Structure 1
């Protein structure tokens, strides 16, 4: 299944599993009903910002939208590079590769991102339905990451830990692509770890 078809299926399946109509999900996410419908019918490619809003309203991480639950759980702990799903954000051109084995029961997810120079993505979800902890490890290039009012300038080898509970802005201020790894995990709200 290609990534666009997978995203369409996952959004639709998760929406229905929660008992949401298109209008319900639109109200909860701030994404228009028509946009959600177009995504579910594979008529548009959603941006990272839209996917983040939908994931939050559905109570899952964005990475969950890229996992094919129809494959079921597996005991295979290996994800070969050729099997790892990639997705390109139509708004910025950033390329996201889901590194973790799909379906393997693990509280940790790994993602690799190649981020074009001069581009930025803003994730506005301040109130999240799940507590997501994330670390960004810059492998090549540089990134400026704003967490709320604080801006962190990361160079190769730097790693930033954050809780996704406020506005986050990813920006590549450099002249070449930046490449970084994301490690993320969710914690039930009752077990939320403080910053």
Structure 2
């Protein structure tokens, strides 16, 4: 199964599991109903920005969209290289590979190769869970803007962030950059309501 078909089936499975109509997911994600329908049927290869909006609307991380639509009851503790899903953003050409065994750990691990001169920006998506992320540079240089903060990362640098605001990634050089992303998600803690007098 190619990655576009796999993504479409995964989005549909997550939408069905949450009992969301196409209209409801469109409202929650900001992605049009027709675009979601094309993606679910494997007829459209979504960009990274669209996938992030869908992930936010579904209450999952972007990395979760690349997992199997029907996870095994007993997740395998190993993900062989040949079985790790690889996806390339049609807009920027950045390539991501989900490295961690799906469902075997609360930590998701993604290997990214980012082309020179390219930029990808993610909006502030509403999340149903609190997600913490580490970006560890392996090769090259990346500029990240996280909310109001801006960082230039060189090989060996590691940046910690929460996914609770807009984020942009930019490779300002003429060489590809490679970095690893580690994510962990926990349910959002709701503040207790004060009793009315």
Instruction: Give the TM-score taking structure 1 as reference length.
Output: 0.93
Gaps of at least 5 residues in structure 1 are none
Aligned to 1:170: 169
Change (3 A) 1:39 1:126: closer
- Cα RMSD between the aligned structures? 1.5
Output the CA distance in 2 between the equivalents of 1:129 and 1:75: 24
Q: Deviations over 1:2-49 (max 9, x none)?
A: 211111001111111111111111011000111001101111100111
What aligned pairs does 1:149-168 form with structure 2 within 5 A after superposition? Answer: 149-168=148-167
Structure 1 residue 103, shift from structure 2 partner: 3.5
Structure 1 residue 71, shift from structure 2 partner: 4.2
Q: Deviations over 1:95-135 (max 9, x none)?
A: 0000001342x110100000001101111125322111000
Count the aligned residue pairs. 191
In 2, are the aligned partners of 1:56 and 1:130 still within 8 Å (CA)? no
Aligned to 1:190: 189
Aligned to 2:194: none
Structure 1 residue 75, shift from structure 2 partner: 4.6
Aligned to 1:146: 145
Give the number of the structure whose alpha-carbon radius of gyration is greater: 2
Gaps of at least 5 residues in structure 2 are 192-197
In 1, are the aligned partners of 2:56 and 2:125 still within 8 Å (CA)? no
Output the CA distance in 1 between the equivalents of 2:71 and 2:142: 35
Output the CA distance in 1 between the equivalents of 2:102 and 2:92: 26
Change (3 A) 1:48 1:147: same
In 2, are the aligned partners of 1:107 and 1:186 still within 8 Å (CA)? yes
Structure 1 residue 77, shift from structure 2 partner: 1.3
Aligned to 1:120: 119
In 2, are the aligned partners of 1:73 and 1:103 still within 8 Å (CA)? no
- Greater CA deviation, 88-97 or 119-128? 119-128
Aligned to 2:129: 130
Change (3 A) 1:180 1:73: farther
Instruction: Give the TM-score taking structure 2 as reference length.
Output: 0.93
